[in-house]
Amino acid sequence: MITTLDQKKTRKFKDAENYKTETDTYYLLPLKFKSLNNNYDIITNDIGDFVIVPKNVVTKIVTKQLRKEDDLEVYYELLANFMISETPVSELLEVIVARYRTKKAFLDQFTSLHIFVISLRCEHTCHYCQVSRVTQNKEAFDMSTFHIDEGIKLMMQSPNPNITMEFQGGEALLAFDKIEYAVAQAKKLATAYNKNITFVICTNLAPLTDEMLVFIKDNDILVSTSLDGPKFIHNENRKRPGNNSYELTIAGIEKCREVLGEDKVSALMTTSSLSLKHPKEIIDEYVGLGFANIFLRPISPYGFAKYNPNKNHYFIEEFLDFYKEGLLHILDYNKKGIFIAEDYASILLKKIFTPFAVGYVDLQSPAGILNSVVVFNYDGKIYASDEARMIAESKDYKFQVGVLGESSYEEVFYGEKILEIAESWSNESLAGCSDCAFQPYCGADPVLNYATQGDLYGFRPTSIFCKKNMEIIRFLFELMTEDKENERIFKSWITGFQT
């Protein structure tokens, strides 16, 4: 229908009175709820909107006892956030549909992150390392050029025009010749296949040389390193001959910043048992080094890390105490005018406050394995995720989905193994998740379920994934209800805009 000029007088909002309706009947839209704390419940929907209400209001809403004239504010909050509708089918159904499609847009693009385990060799012996370490026999433990070529061929078949080629180890820089070869080969094919490739090297920076930095700069490669905190934590966690991992990492970060630029090097920390006692010192270290973000990550319960229980084992509740103390410390910094964001919270906050899909593998539904990431191991074996590779280090090949040079793209990404995993990779259909109010912000992780509970489906009442995410999401909402300043800071983390 063509709109005539007479019909469209103005697009300005009319007075509030124009939007008030006479009806007192409302219909429920799909919603979920859960207790936030002793005072509040939270109501969410599938597209991530939320409304926080005092206790007992949920019962009134669901049993249709909510009266518009008595609870005007709550009523319109629910209406505006697609929790209720005044017509049996919401007049804004198409908006809800478009937003739901947007939330799941990562499925349209398919696999983006392609991890090449370029070498298993490493000169560090970190006690929490998820993979076995070897220092010798370059031929046996570096990725062959044949496997690199085959991995690149599969990568080019991804429907995603924006792909990331990430080099991991062992210590990736020990096989720098292979990185040079892989980058050159990938660049050759990228034009033909119309791919925009982001290159990342994950490295402890110890073997970094000036020559390497020239190549990294020339090819616009991002550097991701490990920094566990101040010297006494980092060097205790990350052993190497000379016990100087911290010194080499700091020197490497400074060199990278000088040559590549501040934004080309990032750092990740892993929380060991020792770290649990020092969240503030770890954060202070990151602030002192000028980082604008820190990722408070628990140890991975995979592969090699499982076999050092004295140093690696702690309960998820202990990590949550560490995380909360750290998050409060980070908020304090922000309140003093020093911008530093916590990455895990930022990912969750993006899911809470924006309509967009967030490309973080561990918090996706359907899960990130293969949908977003695939791993090509040094020996040519293909795994569904980095964690799947770590499980394989314990000789469990449950998540091996193919072999480079032998398996076709269809066999790897649409094979029988994936069909089996797919039955457990959507939290919308998992027991315990399907009714959870935090389901739209959370993800599904069949690999973690398998590693920690023995099956893909998992058991939510004892799941560390569930315990961690439920409590962190709840804590974020609680912080926002307690202090509006916290909400302002959280929003600045996802916009980068500080008011």
Partner 1 sequence: MNQINYNDGILSFKLSATDYSESVVYKCMYWYLGDYNVAISKDVNDYMVTISLKNAKNFDEEELIVCLKNDLIDFKLRELVNNETSTIRELITAKAFANYDFNMNEESLHEISDPVGFDPKDIKL
Where does this chain bind partner 1 (CB under 8 A)?
A: 1-3, 5, 8-12, 27-34, 46, 58-59, 62-63, 89-90, 93-94, 96-98, 100-101, 104, 431-432, 435, 459-462
**Smallest distance, Å, CB 474 to partner 1?**
15
Helix (H), strand (E) at residue 41: strand 40-44
Decide whether 29 or 227 has the Cβ nearer to partner 1.
29
Report the C-alpha gap between 296 and 328 in whole angstroms. Answer: 12
**Smallest distance, Å, CB 447 to partner 1?**
21
Decide whether 25 or 498 has the Cβ nearer to partner 1.
25
Tell me the CA distances in angstroms from 197 to 188, 225, 357, 389, 443, one per residue in order: 11, 20, 20, 23, 26
The token duo for 461 is: 């009442």
Decide whether 72 or 98 has the Cβ nearer to partner 1.
98
Residue with tokens 């019909």: 7
**Smallest distance, Å, CB 106 to partner 1?**
13
The 3-state secondary structure of 233-254, one letter per residue = HHHHHCCCCCCCHHHHHHHHHH
**Smallest distance, Å, CB 425 to partner 1?**
16
Tell me the CA distances in angstroms from 71 to 24, 27, 66, 320, one per residue in order: 11, 16, 7, 36
**Smallest distance, Å, CB 63 to partner 1?**
7
Decide whether 28 or 289 has the Cβ nearer to partner 1.
28
**Smallest distance, Å, CB 87 to partner 1?**
11
CA 289 to chain centre: 24
Decide whether 125 or 462 has the Cβ nearer to partner 1.
462
Contact between 296 and 323 under an 8 Å Cβ cutoff? The reply is yes
Report the C-alpha gap between 293 and 397 in whole angstroms. Answer: 35
* Strand residue runs (E) in 344-399: 373-376, 381-383
**Smallest distance, Å, CB 467 to partner 1?**
10
Decide whether 184 or 431 has the Cβ nearer to partner 1.
431
The closest alpha carbon to 278, from 238, 316, 329, 241, belongs to: 329
**Smallest distance, Å, CB 8 to partner 1?**
5
Decide whether 29 or 126 has the Cβ nearer to partner 1.
29
- Please tell me whether residue 3 adopts helix, strand or coil conformation: coil
Report the C-alpha gap between 10 and 12 in whole angstroms. Answer: 6
Decide whether 90 or 481 has the Cβ nearer to partner 1.
90
DSSP lists the bridge partners of residue 419 as none
Decide whether 177 or 455 has the Cβ nearer to partner 1.
455
Contact between 81 and 352 under an 8 Å Cβ cutoff? The reply is no
Decide whether 6 or 263 has the Cβ nearer to partner 1.
6
Report the C-alpha gap between 254 and 252 in whole angstroms. Answer: 5
**Smallest distance, Å, CB 103 to partner 1?**
9
**Smallest distance, Å, CB 419 to partner 1?**
18
Decide whether 215 or 457 has the Cβ nearer to partner 1.
457
Burial of 296 (0-12, 13-18, 19+ CB in 10 A): buried
**Smallest distance, Å, CB 316 to partner 1?**
13
- Please tell me whether residue 257 adopts helix, strand or coil conformation: helix
Residues in CB range of 367: below 8 A, 6 or more apart:
361, 421, 425, 426, 443, 444, 445, 446, 447
